[in-house]
Every structure is written in C-alpha cells, then in structure tokens.
Chain A
Amino acid sequence: MTVHSFEEHFEEKLDKDIAIEPRDWMPDTYRKTLIRQISQHAHSEIVGMLPEGNWITRAPSLRRKAVLLAKVQDEAGHGLYLYSAAETLGVSRDELYDQLHSGKAKYSSIFNYPTLTWADMGAIGWLVDGAAIMNQVPLCRTSYGPYARAMVRVCKEESFHQRQGFEIMLTLSNGTEVQKKMAQDALNRWWWPSIMMFGPPDAESPNTEMSVRWKIKRFTNDELRQKFIDVTVEQTKILGLEVPDKDLKWNEERGHYDFGAIDWAEFWNVVKGNGPCNKERLETRKKAWEEGEWVREAAAAYAEKRKKKAGEQQAA
C-alpha cells in the first residue's frame, strides 16, 4: 500500500468508528498528538495525588481517611493505566517521566492550587473530579483502542470519587457554622479553576479541531464547560452554598446558564508555571523519583542475579 492508501484506510476506520490499535498504521501527527494527550493525562493523575495526599494523615475520621487513601491510590492506578496506553505508542514510561520532570510536559493546572482545609477534599472530589469525569466519559469512545480501554477502567473507578467529594461537602454544609464557612470557602477557591479545567475557549484552542476530527476528543472545550456548569449549579443548590459568580444566570432561551468572564490571564499564568504550587509539585515528584532510583536499581539487579542463577542451575 502507498502512504496515500494507508491514510485513506485510516480515515475510513475513523469514519466507521473502528478503533485504531497499536500496530495499525497511523499518521505521525496522530501518534504524537496521542502521546501528548495521554501522557499529559497520566501526569495529571500522579501530580494530582499530591494535593489530596496532603490530607491523608490529617483526615478528620477513620472512615474519611480510608476513603481518601483509596481515592489517592486510584489516581496512581489511573496514571499507571494511562502510561501503559502511551507505552503502546512506542514511548517508555521513564521517557515520559523525564519530560514531566524537566518541565517539558504539562499536566492539569488545577493541581497547582493548594489544599488549605479539609473542605478542599470535598471540593476537589466534587468539582475537580466532576469536571474530569465530564472530560473523560467521552474518551471511553476515543479512536485509539488502548486509550479508550484505559478510560473505561478509569471512568468506572472514578464514579466513587465524585460521590465521596459531594458527601464531604454535604456533611459540612449540614454541619456547624464554621463547617459551612469552610465548605463555602473551598467552593470559592475551586470554582473558577475547575471551570478552567476544560481548557481555553474553542476559538483559542489550537488542538481542538484536529483532535475532534480524529475522534481523540469528542466534544469541544466550551461544550463540556457549559455542560459542567449547568449540572454543577443545580448540585450547589442542594448544598445551600453560593456559586462565586455574580453573573451566573439561567438563560431560558439558550436552555443553559450564562456565566461570568473567565480570567484566562490567570489560567495561562498557572500553565506557564506561576501557580501557587507549580514548583512544589514538580519538586515533590522529582524527589520521589530520584530517591526511588536506588530501589528500582536494586530490584532490577536482584532479578538479573536470580535469572542468571536459574540459568546456571538449568545448565548444570
């Protein structure tokens, strides 16, 4: 087949919603886009362990502690599934780590915000995981098979994450004055960063059009953002909390909520590395990786020794 017919065959598969698998021919840019998107997603999962991981040792009850620990562990699992999906495209996990640690690769900016109170565990589960799920559910049908399969597993496991977050918020908002205040404060700090999680507006999103055509993405940033706001505002009412957006208003004609202007300058600022915790998060990841090196080497050396020994025994 010529490159041309390879390409036609690839496009035909996309049109028919037939998954692309690791050994299938794919355009170079498709491969690159996928590696970028999947690894960013994987990095977000493992950097995302840190803000919540902060509170594992401080969780206010044993039940909450167990839930939080299991949740942060799930994020490690999700990172692992996603790195594995990226590895099917011919890049190793260690290479992807290098890109993260050198600052070359990006991860979701939301994790560069600090977790200041226990209520942040509620707000993250409810809003951040809520936004993530909205982004991720369509990815279960993304065109690249290993990515889609990883996302099916991720989405299945994520469903408890948002529920436990909302439960924390609900308990707080039904609690004492100070607990309510804690919940509102967390909502105030996490609302806008969560809205920004859907990425820049479609008009300014350079990758969206190609990604949608390739069915790597299935909805645009703005579509998902609107959906999230519509759903979440209703949930806020159950909590009796206030969305920190004075321009928020139901638009009967559109059948959607109108919302205030998003501070994209802040978004880009955090993306560029000036968020409150960018440095800290990256340093923590680097430290864990560097301090783990001798452990990984030891296990590899031990495995090598045993293999040799087994070989010698067989020979004898």
Chain B
Amino acid sequence: MSQQTAEHKSEWPLWEVFIRSKAGLDHKHAGSLHAADAQMAIENARDVYTRRMEGVSIWVVESKYIHTSDPDESASMYEPANDKIYRHPTFYNLPDELKHM
C-alpha cells in the first residue's frame, strides 16, 4: 500500500470499504478512499460508494491492516483443492427418481 513520505505527512490514510448491498447479503469490497479517522471513513464511504442506493451497511478497515496471501504460493495454496471434486454434490451418481435430495 502507499507509503507516507515526509512531504505528504498530512495525507490521510487509505481505507478499504466493504458494503452490504441489502440485508441478508455479505459485505463486499467496494473500493477504497482516504479519511482521517474511522468515523470519517464510514461517512466518506457513504458519500462516495452509496450515492445510488448501493448499500445498507458499511465496513471500513485501514488498508495497512489487510493481509494478503502470497500470489507466488497460489499453486500450493489453491491447486490442491482442484482434485477434491468429491466435495461437490454433482460428484455423486444417483437415480433420477430420487427426490428431495
């Protein structure tokens, strides 16, 4: 994420914004913005990211607190799941007559 250099010391920190578009749904990443504190970040998120009725709830977190998985390790992280297709319901062959399952 962006570094604060000496001449930009008053630059407000960067925040990531997550928005719940309607009750019952997950918060989803909407984008980022700058704000001086958490309260302002929520309000800025309201003004920037919900102008068209996009949300009913907002989460904000300072970008520097987000930890990301290493893309270089994606092979070991994610590929092992590829051959475990027995975790999916379609893996199982069952007769068509079977209902409610």
Contacts and interface: CB of A to CB of B under 8 A. Distances in A.
Nearest to B40: A299
Nearest to A21: B71
A300 B40 CA distance: 11
A303 B1 CA distance: 20
A296 interface: yes
Contacts of B36: 296, 299-300, 302-303
B93 interface: no
Contact of B12 (A24, A81, A91, A300): A300
A300 B14 CA distance: 12
Given A23-B70, A24-B71, A306 B37 contact: yes
- Chain B interface, DSSP helix/strand/loop, else mixed: loop
A179 B52 CA distance: 33
A197 interface: no
B10 A296 contact: yes
Contacts of A149: 31
A1 B72 contact: yes
A87 interface: yes
Interface-centre pick from A73, A81, A297 (highest chain B CB count, 10 A): A81
B11 interface: yes
B33 A84 contact: yes
A296 B12 contact: yes
A293 B12 CA distance: 11
Interface residues of B, number: 25
Nearest to A302: B36
Nearest to B70: A23
A63 B40 CA distance: 30
A23 B71 contact: yes
- Chain A interface, DSSP helix/strand/loop, else mixed: helix
A84 B10 contact: no
The size bracket of the interface on A is 20 to 34
B32 A87 contact: yes
A95 B8 contact: yes
A60 interface: no
Given A77-B51, A157-B52, A303-B36, A84 B31 contact: yes
A124 interface: no
Interface string B58-76: 0000000000101110000
Nearest to A6: B72
Contacts of A153: 31
B34 interface: yes
Given A74-B51, A91-B2, A157-B52, 12 more contacts: A24-B71, A25-B72, A77-B48, A80-B33, A81-B31, A84-B33, A90-B2, A94-B5, A95-B5, A296-B12, A302-B37, A303-B40
17 contacts: A23-B70, A73-B51, A77-B51, A87-B2, A87-B14, A90-B3, A91-B2, A92-B3, A92-B4, A94-B11, A95-B5, A149-B31, A150-B31, A296-B12, A300-B9, A303-B36, A306-B37
Interface of B: 1-5, 8-12, 14, 31-34, 36-37, 40, 48, 51-52, 68, 70-72
